Amino acid sequence: MIRGALSGCLLLAGLLVMPGAMAASRYYDIEPVEVAADTYVVFGAQENFNDANHGAIANTGFIVTDEGVVVIDTGPSRLYGQALREAIGRITEQPVVQVYISHAHPDHFLGNNAFDDVSIAALPGTIDAVRAVGSDLAGNLYNLVGAAMRGTSAVVPDQAVESGTTATFGDHRLRLLAAAGHTAADLMILDTTTGVLFAGDIAFHDRAPTTPNADIDAWRAVLAQTRAREFAVLVPGHGPSTPDDAPLSQTGDYLAWLVDRFTQDANDGMSAAEVMFQPLPERWARLAVQPGEYRRSVSHLYPAIEQSALPERTE
Amino acid sequence: MNTISKTLALMLLVLAMPAAAAASDDPLDSSQWRYMLRQYFPDAKVVFDDRVQVVAPDYAEDSLATPVQVRAEGLEDVERVLVLADHSPINPVLDYYPVRAAPAIGFHFKVQQATPIRAAMRTADGTWHVGGVWVDAEGGGCTAPSVGSASPLWESRLGEVEGRLWARGDRSQRLKFRVVHPMDTGLAAGIPAFFIRSVTVSDADGRTLARLEPDEPVAENPVFALDLKHAGAVTVEGRDNNGNVFSARIPAPAS
C-alpha cells in the first residue's frame, strides 16, 4: 500500500515536471496517416466533444518539406498540439516552420499553445474571431471535455493570410484560398505539388456538417466552385479523405436538403421543437453525430426561415 | 390510540395524499420538485402522466432561445397549462389557457442552467397532470441582457406582430405569431424586467379562443404556435408589464 502510494506520488511529480511528453500521450493517440507524398493527416473521432476523445474530433495535417514542416490546424488543446508535434518529430527531423489555421472553431485552433514559437497564419476574419471569442470557446471546451484541456488558452494567430497567394516551402507550392460559408472566414490550402486539397470544414465527410456560424448560400457557392477545381486528394475537416469530390457533394447535398426541409416546415406552420424531433431520411440519419447535429442546426437556422414564412407586419 | 393504530392511521393518511407521494416519485428525479409542489400546487392533486408531453432538446444549443413544444395526446378537458423550470431563477415560464384550443403550445425559452422543463395540465376535475424532460445547458440565459436592449431599433418596432394561420383539418387551425419585444427578465444588471404579460386570441365575434400569460423566461421576440379549434380570421391582443398594448388581425388561411 505504502509503496503504491509512493509511486503514485512519483508519477504525479513526473507529470508536473514534464507536462508535455507524459500527459499528452496519455490523452491523445496521434497516428499520422500518409495520404500523399510528404503529406500526413491525423483523423479525428467522428463524434461530438466528449471526455473520451478529449476534444480530438477534427482532422489535422502536416506537410514535410526540405525547408521544414507546415502544419494545418492544431487540434483542440495544448496537450493535443504537443502530441501532434511529438508525432511529427517521429517522422522527420525537420522543424515545424509554419502553422495555418483553417478557421476559428475550437477543435481546429486550440492546439496553438504548442506552436507559439512558430508563425501561425490565418485569414484576417479568423484572427478577429479568435481574438473576440477564442477564450469563450476554450472555456466551453473545458466544460465539455475536462482535464485534457489544462494549460490551453486561445493563442491568436500572428500572421494574416492574403487570399490567392502562393507560399513555397521546399518543393511544395501551397495556394492559399480564402472562402466563407462554414464560418465568416474559411481557409483552404491546395498543395499544387501533390494535388492535396485541405478543405477545412468547408467539407465534412460521413459526419453531419455543423452550422453555428454558417452562411448556407455562401457555403454552397464555395462548394460548387471547389468541385470545379483540380485536385488529387481531398482532406475534409472531419471524416476520411478521398481521391474524389465525394465530401464536397455530400456536404452540399446535406445543406441543400436542410434549407429545403426548414423552408417547407416553416411554410407548414411547424414549431421549432416539432421540426427538431422529426425523423431524418436514411441518407442523413446515418451520418455520424446525428440526430444531434441536425437538432443544433434547427437552433441555428430555423428562426430566420420561420420568420420569413410569417407575413410582414399584420394590422 | 396505541402505536399500531397510530401507524395504521398514518399509513391511511399517506395513501390518501397522492400529491405528497408524487414528490418522491418524480420521474425526473429533481431535488427541486418537492419545493415546486408546495409552491405551485398547494393542496392540489398532482399526478405524473405520460400523456403530457414536453418536447425539447436534451442540450440547449442557444440558452437564450431553446425551443419547446408542449402537447397532450388523449387528455380531455384541459383548462390550464402551466410550464415550469425547476432550476431557474424564475420557475414559471408560461401560463396557457386553451379556452377553445388544444392543450398544445410551441415557443422558445431562456435556460439559465440544466433544468427539468415541465408542463402541468389542469383538467376540469382539478387534477394537475405533469410531464417533462431535462434540458442541459452551458447557462446564462436568464441573466444575459436581451439583444434588443443593446440596439436602438427595437423601440420603434416594439409590439409589432407577424402572424399566420394554417388550416389543420376540420375547424382547426395552427396559429403562429411573433411579437417584437425584448422580454427582459430583470436579472441582467441595470435592465429592469420588461416582458409581455398577457395575450388573448379571439374570433371575429370577440369570443376568447385562447389566453396566455408569458413569464420572464420566454425568449426575446417570442414566436408562439397554438392549435385553435376554430376556422377563420382571429385577433391577437396583448399587453406588457409596462402597459404597452399591441394587437393584430390575422387573416384566414388562403385555401
Q: Express each pLDDT in A130-171 by its tens digit.
A: 999 999 999 989 988 989 999 999 999 999 999 889 999 999
Set of cell numbers at residue B23: 414528490
Is A269 part of a structural domain of the chain? no
CATH number at residue B143: 2.60.40.2470
Place of cell 414564412: A309
Query: What does the DSSP 8-state code read for residue B21?
Result: H
Residue B117 with chain A: CB contacts under 8 Å: none
- The shortest CB-CB distance from B62 to any of A268, A276, A299 is to A299
Is B104 part of a structural domain of the chain? yes
As a whole number of angstroms, the distance between CA A174 and CA B111 comes to 46
Structural domain for B94, as ranges: 3-250
Residue A74 exposure: Cα atoms within 13 Å on the Cβ side: 32
Is B62 part of a structural domain of the chain? yes
Residue A303 with chain B: CB contacts under 8 Å: 65, 223
CATH number at residue A69: 3.60.15.10
Q: What pLDDT was estimated at residue B100?
A: 97
Please choose, from the candidates A30, A119, A111, the residue with its C-alpha nearest in 3D space to the C-alpha of residue A73.
Answer: A111
Please choose, from the candidates B234, B231, B168, the residue with its C-alpha nearest in 3D space to the C-alpha of residue B207.
Answer: B234
DSSP annotation string for B108-148: EE--SSSEEEEEEEEETTS-EEEEEEEEB----TTTSPPSG
- The shortest CB-CB distance from B174 to any of A269, A273, A302 is to A269
Please choose, from the candidates B134, B232, B220, the residue with its C-alpha nearest in 3D space to the C-alpha of residue B185.
Answer: B220
Q: How far is B66 from chain A (nearest CA, A)?
A: 7
Give the number of other CB atoms < 10 A from CB of residue A88. Answer: 20
Confidence tier at A3 by pLDDT (50, 70, 90): very low
Is A117 part of a structural domain of the chain? yes
Q: What is the mean pLDDT of residues B204-223?
A: 97
As a whole number of angstroms, the distance between CA B14 and CA A55 comes to 50
Is B35 part of a structural domain of the chain? yes
Please choose, from the candidates A55, A72, A208, A215, the residue with its C-alpha nearest in 3D space to the C-alpha of residue A138.
Answer: A55
- Interior/surface letters A115-125, b for 16+ CB within 10 angstroms, e for the rest: beebebbbbeb
Q: What pLDDT was estimated at residue A29?
A: 92
Across the interface, do B107 and A300 touch by the CB < 8 Å criterion?
Answer: no
Is B255 part of a structural domain of the chain? no
Across the interface, do B67 and A271 touch by the CB < 8 Å criterion?
Answer: yes
Q: pLDDT tens digits, residue range B55-100?
A: 999 999 999 999 999 999 899 999 999 999 999 999 999 999 999 9
Across the interface, do B69 and A271 touch by the CB < 8 Å criterion?
Answer: yes
**Interface residue B238 vs chain A (CB under 8 A):** no
Total number of domains in chain B: 1
As a whole number of angstroms, the distance between CA A34 and CA A42 comes to 9
pLDDT at A2 over 90: no
Is A108 part of a structural domain of the chain? yes
Is A290 part of a structural domain of the chain? no
Across the interface, do B176 and A310 touch by the CB < 8 Å criterion?
Answer: yes
Please choose, from the candidates A207, A48, A62, the residue with its C-alpha nearest in 3D space to the C-alpha of residue A141.
Answer: A48
Confidence tier at A105 by pLDDT (50, 70, 90): very high
Place of cell 427582459: B184
Provide the edge-to-edge strand list for the sheet that holds A172-179: A166-169, A172-179, A186-191, A196-204, A233-238
Q: What pLDDT was estimated at residue A176?
A: 98
pLDDT at B2 over 60: no
Set of cell numbers at residue B108: 422558445
Total number of domains in chain A: 1
Is A203 part of a structural domain of the chain? yes
- The shortest CB-CB distance from A311 to any of B56, B61, B162 is to B162
Q: What pLDDT was estimated at residue B32?
A: 92
Across the interface, do B61 and A296 touch by the CB < 8 Å criterion?
Answer: yes
Question: ipTM of the assembly?
Answer: 0.89
Q: How wide is the angle at C-alpha A279 spanned by C-alphas A144 and B85, nearest 5°?
A: 50
One-letter amino acid at A218 equals A
**Interface residue of B223, B226, B249, B250 to substitute, partner A, most A CBs within 10 Å:** B223
**Interface residue B132 vs chain A (CB under 8 A):** no
Confidence tier at A193 by pLDDT (50, 70, 90): very high
Is A9 part of a structural domain of the chain? no
As a whole number of angstroms, the distance between CA B222 and CA B214 comes to 10
Structural domain for A73, as ranges: 22-245
